[in-house]
Amino acid sequence: MLGDTAVAVNPKDGRYKNFIGKEVLLPIQNRKIHIIADMAVDPDFGTGAVKVTPAHDMLDAEIAERHKLPRETVIGTLGKMTAGAGQLCEGLKTLECRAKVLEELKKDGRIEREEKYKHNIAQCYRCQTTIEPLPSMQWFLKMGKLADAAARSVKSGKIKFHPVRWEKVYFDWLKNVRDWCISRQIWWGHKIPIEGETDVLDTWFSSALWPFATLGYPDKTKDLKDFYPTQVLSTARDIINLWVGRMIFSGLEFTGKPPFKDVIIHATILTKDGKRMSKSLGTGIDPMDLIKRYGADATRFGLVWQAMGNQDIHWSEEHVVAGKKFCNKIWNSARFVMLQIKNSKIKNQNDNAKFKNLTTADKKILAALKKAKKNVNTRIEKYEFGPALHTLYDFFWHEFCDIYIEESKKFLNPEVLLFALSESLKLLHPFMPFITEDIWSQLPVQNKKLLMIEKWPS
């Protein structure tokens, strides 16, 4: 309050219409300040009359800029009140000053009443200390041309968001973007490359250089030539503006090329009751604990299984348990197939084999496999990994195991049996890489390489 330079009201608030342009006396400081009208004031909050402290509040600073108000700095860099706070409070810590001001206002009979209300107070995310904004000299990056280039790269289709609805968040930010304060007064970071400057760059500025800085830029390295631009970025919705947008315009500015082609905005995983997972709140889950209990493939299965298009996932461990059961199903069915192959003395199998003497069951499984391949390819190309896994699960468990393997006990066609298993392992490999690679290593497949570099089923 000691740094107030105006009282603001909403111009449409009839209660204060006749007061706009007049002056009031700021208590304790005994300084006259104007009553101004600004649309930023919410007439329904509190009294609808807001004190304006331009030096110590961002919104107030914007109001002051519009109305050309003076700025009175009353808090110093050490967290103590400055001479601008007046003799009563100079040298006090902020909380000590608050108590002193209340005491003085009560003594003068200026406190009408006290009541509780909700208010947004900025706090340090590490120690929860209240943050007191201060005016200071900083370095800024002009954003006009950079924002235009970043917007064009998405509008032209050079970069695509998946799901596409997140483009709106991206465009809204670029449309309303402000010049970016890129300087920080902290111990660690990239030093601003100006002679004599001790400030470092904002961490998001450094992060925005990642796609090409990691490949040797500004040197024209082989890695930079081979791997830039990259293909796919996977990230969360809360850093579309902080990171994705800044990587895009930084890549365009420094290399002339967008840093990637596709941006996947993946689901946010919440607790079962919908709370944010957080280490500090104790609501997080260590994936290593799940891996120890159920295995890496089962954990991976449980994550992908729940990614069904809704932005937020309410975590449920039961899907990891289902993943473990599915691993057992894959393993047991593969053992059965290899036993039949051994008994039938088949040594290898070719992807392009022309099968002969097909039974009705053979034809059905080959048709079902073809349909599953098509569905999975379509889903993966759209980055719809959850639906792709659901398709594979249904095909392998029900079509292949429940129906075809049972039928093969009556009418065995080893070539088709091995082919269906081999193609299934290829399709399942991105979702469950360890068990599929292990089984693949034991199959008598012609010209076999590691499964992870085998040709993808088309």
Residue 394: pLDDT band (50, 70, 90) is: very high
Residue 183: pLDDT band (50, 70, 90) is: very high
Residue 129: pLDDT band (50, 70, 90) is: confident
DSSP 92-158: -BHHHHHHHHHHHHHHTT-------------B-TTT-PBP--------EE--HHHHHHHHHHHHTTS
Query: What's the rounded Cα separation, in Å, for the pair 299 and 318?
Result: 10
Q: How many residues does the chain have?
A: 458
Query: What's the rounded Cα separation, in Å, for the pair 118 and 95?
Result: 19
Query: What's the rounded Cα separation, in Å, for the pair 170 and 166?
Result: 7
CB 21 within 8 A of CB 6: no
Alpha-carbon torsion, ordered 64, 67, 71, 75, to 10 deg = -20
Give the CATH number for residue 77: 3.90.740.10
Which residues make beta-bridge pairs with 123?
Answer: 130
22-36, 290-304, 305-319, range with the lowest pLDDT = 305-319
pLDDT at 310: 65
pLDDT digits (tens, 9 = 90+) for 8-53: 999 999 999 999 999 999 999 999 999 999 999 999 988 999 999 9
411 is a domain residue = yes
415 is a domain residue = yes
Same domain, 330 and 400: yes
Query: What's the rounded Cα separation, in Å, for the pair 411 and 358?
Result: 10
pLDDT at 353: 61
Mean pLDDT of all residues in 145-165:
96
Give the domain range for residue 348: 296-453
Query: What's the rounded Cα separation, in Å, for the pair 246 and 231?
Result: 17
Same domain, 190 and 229: yes
- The percentage of residues in the chain with a pLDDT greater than 90, rounded to a whole number, is 80
Q: What is the enclosing helix (H) or strand (E) of 270? A: strand 268-270
282 is a domain residue = no
Same domain, 335 and 436: yes
Q: CA-CA distances (angstroms) from residue 109 to 25, 104, 229, 238?
A: 15, 9, 68, 48
Same domain, 422 and 318: yes
Coarse DSSP helix, strand, coil percentages of the chain, rounded to the nearest 5 percent: 45, 10, 45
Same domain, 368 and 443: yes
pLDDT at 405: 95
128 is a domain residue = no
pLDDT at 14: 95
Q: Structural domain tally of the chain?
A: 3
Same domain, 443 and 324: yes
pLDDT digits (tens, 9 = 90+) for 248-263: 999 999 999 999 999 9
Q: CA-CA distances (angstroms) from residue 95 to 28, 89, 92, 108, 124?
A: 17, 11, 8, 20, 16
pTM exceeds 0.85, yes or no? no
pLDDT at 347: 64
CB 422 within 8 A of CB 408: no
Query: What's the rounded Cα separation, in Å, for the pair 328 and 322?
Result: 10
333 is a domain residue = yes
Query: What's the rounded Cα separation, in Å, for the pair 361 and 369?
Result: 12
117 is a domain residue = no
CB 210 within 8 A of CB 247: yes
119 is a domain residue = no
Residue 350: pLDDT band (50, 70, 90) is: low
What's 81's DSSP letter? Answer: B
Q: Which residue has the higher pLDDT, 53 or 411?
A: 53
**Mean pLDDT for all residues in the chain:** 93
Give the CATH number for residue 234: 3.40.50.620
DSSP 301-349: HHHHHT-SS-SEEE--THHHHHHHHHHHHHHHHHHHHHHHHHHHT----
Mean pLDDT of all residues in 56-63:
94
What are residue 184's phi and psi, to 5 degrees?
-140, 145
Give the CATH number for residue 337: 1.10.730.10
Using CA of residue 300, residue 305, residue 308, residue 312, what is the dihedral sign? Answer: negative
123 is a domain residue = no
pLDDT at 346: 66
Residue 126: pLDDT band (50, 70, 90) is: confident
Mean pLDDT of all residues in 138-167:
96
Inform me whether the pLDDT recorded for 447 exceeds 70. yes
Same domain, 103 and 173: no
